[in-house]
Amino acid sequence: MDRKNEPSNKSWRLRSGACLSGDRVMFRVWAPSVASMSIIIKGGPNEIAMARDREGYFVASCDHLPVGTNYFYLLNGEKQRPDPVSRYQPEGVHGPSEVIDPGSFNWEDQDWRGLSLEKLILYEIHTGTFTPEGTFEAILPLLDYLKHDLGVTAIELMPVSQFPGERNWGYDGACLYAPQNSYGGPSGLKKLVNACHGKGLAVFLDVVYNHLGPEGNYLADYGPYFTDRYKTPWGSAVNFDGPRSGEVRRFIIDNALYWVTEYHVDGLRIDAVHGIFDLSARHILFDIREALRRQSKCLGRTILVFAESDLNDVRIINPPRKGGYGLDAQWNDDFHHSLHALLTGQRTGYYQDFGDIRQLVKAMNEGFVYSGQYSSFRERCHGSSSKHLSPIKFVIFSQNHDQVGNRVRGDRLATLVPFEALKLAAGIILLSPSIPLLFMGEEYGERAPFYYFISHGDEGLINAVRTGRREEFAAFQWEGEIPDPQDPATFLNSKITVSLRHHENHATLFEFYRALIRLRKEIPALSHSDRKKSRIKRFGKKRALFIQRQCDSNRIVCLLNFDSSPTAVKTLMEPGRWQKLMDSSSAEWEGKGGTAPPCFESDGGDVSFQLAPYSFLLFGQNGKKAGLREGSS
């Protein structure tokens, strides 16, 4: 790609779509597949002709066109289509685009500088099901709950680009620049980001660059945005490396810059990068990261980029000096699968590759579990080694939208394992040196399912989705009726009830999460991520783990039992006084164990402990600087 086309300064602005310039609106759209184009103003008497330049861009300017004007493009005098770079679709994916003024919002976050990887405790939100109203603004009253009551430091929004209808996970987005109208559109999203920054919360946005949704996707009418050289499970692959792909790449890079610049978001989570196909010498992920890194410097705030990938390809997060794309972190599905298989015993689908506690140890120590060895699920060798990377390069979780929503009954962990195991899962996530992510509601044991839901308008497409879901579940040998994705009840039944945190053992679990998050923030050994200053081992052949972490003279030791029976362990403890920081099996947390002393003196030898089923013990010490010691059996 020509570097002259890459925005690199603070004055970057979106150059396509309907852009205000004084009292004039400049229209610009790339449409090399179109011979003629004009602008149709909704309710207006005339068409406005557009001129075509050598690069395939159509341009026109209109004086005194008010903000709020709705318009279509008319292609070849026949097809009426929304703007590919529409900032707002007030009537949905098939309706007109709207002229908006991106500079009209009164931002109040001028002093916000973002958060480092080490400070992140992510909370994933689906806007439509997080509140009864299902809008951006409805989240505002819950920000104090998230920041101060619970203690997370960032929210991660599932995709918000305009999708068909009012119910969708967001991965069927068809207008990549337009925030969903039923969520509150551009003004609602800006209010949310602005309020989050005012509370000290970062905002990450899930974006989809591997495909567009099947309904309302009109990009192919404009130009070669897609290619048949590659296939994705969700739709046509985006043309990142074929003929005339340069402007397609610009379309995507500009989208990334648009969200961090016009909407002030702190970073992006790029969905399913294994569905992004690019054989260019410079991969599109590298170009996105480089563009955002330059913009981060110009804006004076931290901007981070995460990837979701099932490739276990270390290039995604390796630094460019090692031939990588330089993304800041990636979701670690191997960690989730290792933990889920241990806690639930599930061994179907991709879980057939997991279930050994040694895999959880490897996930915590190295990142990828599958780093080149044979995968029975894939029937081939899979992955590359990531053991040279810091654990902070991985986002870990016990639940997320995929791992809950892609189950036949959308069942959360709270409905699959005992209460003690929920606390154990919280402990391994929040006491880990990696970036923890919570899925909305898990902090109090939400039991409502999170189903897959849509609101398409085409009956053939609806039936295709229903068939696809049945085929997807076949590999897991799940039985039972699949909730109809198109039924509004499927969506409504997926809404969570945050007020449950005040009732019964939901309240206990919520307080438990709060305590863990507080410990993670306050204890230096838990808030720093240095692989050289941590040890994670298995206790012999037991389903129990030893974790030791250190920051200067501050040390912690955590002993975790993944067995349904009590387990006796002994371990070397540094000399000096140790304080019990948490016992998940104590009566305080509705447990039946709690036999460990509140504090004890160690002479540097072995100390024995009895771990209750599905429990952990956390001890801390401030002492002399020393190297870490290995756990015993």
- What is the domain-level CATH number for residue 16? 2.60.40.10
Q: How far is CA 51 from CA 20, 56, 236, 429, 505, in A?
A: 18, 10, 30, 56, 66
What is the phi-psi region of residue 514: left when phi exceeds 0, alpha when psi lies from -120 to 50, beta otherwise? alpha
Q: Is the pLDDT of residue 69 over 70?
A: yes
Q: How confident is the model at residue 482 (pLDDT cuts 50, 70, 90)?
A: confident
Report pLDDT for 481: 81
Average pLDDT of the segment spanning 67-93: 97
Report pLDDT for 338: 98
Closest CA to 125 of 148, 105, 145, 102: 145
Note whether 216 and 161 are within 8 A (CB). no
Distance CA 295, CA 283 (A): 19
Q: Is the pLDDT of residue 5 over 70?
A: no
Q: Is the pLDDT of residue 52 over 90?
A: yes
Q: Which strand (E) or helix (H) includes residue 178?
A: strand 175-179
Pairing label, strands 554-561, 615-622: antiparallel
Report pLDDT for 145: 98
Token output for 143: 């920000």
DSSP string, 449-490: --------S-HHHHHHHHHHHHHHHHTTT--SPPPPTTSHHH
Distance CA 396, CA 367 (A): 9
Annotated active-site residue 137? The verdict is no
Averaged pLDDT of the chain: 94
Cα R_g (the chain), whole angstroms: 26
Q: Is the pLDDT of residue 11 over 70?
A: no
Q: How confident is the model at residue 630 (pLDDT cuts 50, 70, 90)?
A: low
* Side chain identity, residue 85: V
Report pLDDT for 633: 56
DSSP string, 554-619: EEEEEEEE-SSS-EEEEEE--SEEEEEEEETTSGGGT-S---S-SEEEE-SSEEEEEEPTTEEEEE
Return the residue matching tokens 């791992």: 403
Note whether 457 and 164 are within 8 A (CB). yes
Q: At what angle do helices 419-430 and 333-344 cross, to 10 degrees?
A: 160
**Structural domain includes residue 278:** no
Average pLDDT of the segment spanning 402-412: 94
Average pLDDT of the segment spanning 566-591: 96
Domain count of the fold of the chain: 2
Report the range of poorest mean pLDDT among 126-140, 169-183, 468-482: 468-482
Q: Is the pLDDT of residue 16 over 90?
A: yes
Q: Choosing from 241, 271, 366, 574, which is the catalytic residue?
A: 271
Q: How confident is the model at residue 626 (pLDDT cuts 50, 70, 90)?
A: very low
Distance CA 289, CA 281 (A): 15
Global pTM reads: 0.95
Distance CA 362, CA 394 (A): 13
**Structural domain includes residue 541:** yes
pLDDT tens for 505-552 read 999 999 999 999 999 999 999 998 888 888 999 999 999 999 999 998
Return the residue matching tokens 């398409």: 456
Report pLDDT for 7: 37
Distance CA 169, CA 402 (A): 10
Q: How confident is the model at residue 595 (pLDDT cuts 50, 70, 90)?
A: confident
Distance CA 101, CA 92 (A): 19
- Residues with Cβ within 8 Å of residue 14, at least 6 apart in sequence: 85, 102, 177, 254, 258, 262
Report pLDDT for 3: 38
What is the phi-psi region of residue 419: left when phi exceeds 0, alpha when psi lies from -120 to 50, beta otherwise? alpha
Q: Is the pLDDT of residue 290 over 90?
A: yes
Phi, psi for 192 (deg, rounded to 5): -65, -50
Q: Is the pLDDT of residue 2 over 50?
A: no
**Structural domain includes residue 316:** no
**Structural domain includes residue 184:** no
CA 39 to chain centre: 37
**Structural domain includes residue 554:** yes
Closest CA to 483 of 448, 515, 511, 522: 448
pLDDT tens for 180-237 read 999 999 999 999 999 999 999 999 999 999 999 999 999 999 999 999 999 998 889 9
Annotated active-site residue 124? The verdict is no
Answer with the one of 71, 98, 125 that is the final residue of a domain. 98
Phi, psi for 362 (deg, rounded to 5): -65, -40
**Structural domain includes residue 88:** yes
Length in residues, the chain? 633
Domain that holds residue 72: 3-98
Phi, psi for 578 (deg, rounded to 5): -115, 140
* CATH code (residue 540): 2.60.40.1180
Answer with the one of 72, 98, 124 that is the final residue of a domain. 98
**Cα angle for residues 497, 157, 288 (degrees, 5° grid):** 170
Q: Choosing from 308, 328, 442, 583, which is the catalytic residue?
A: 308
**Structural domain includes residue 24:** yes
pLDDT tens for 309-358 read 999 999 999 999 999 999 999 999 999 999 999 999 999 999 999 999 99
Answer with the one of 68, 98, 128 that is the final residue of a domain. 98
Closest CA to 498 of 149, 193, 122, 121: 149
pLDDT tens for 411-446 read 999 999 999 999 999 999 999 999 999 999 999 999
**Structural domain includes residue 592:** yes
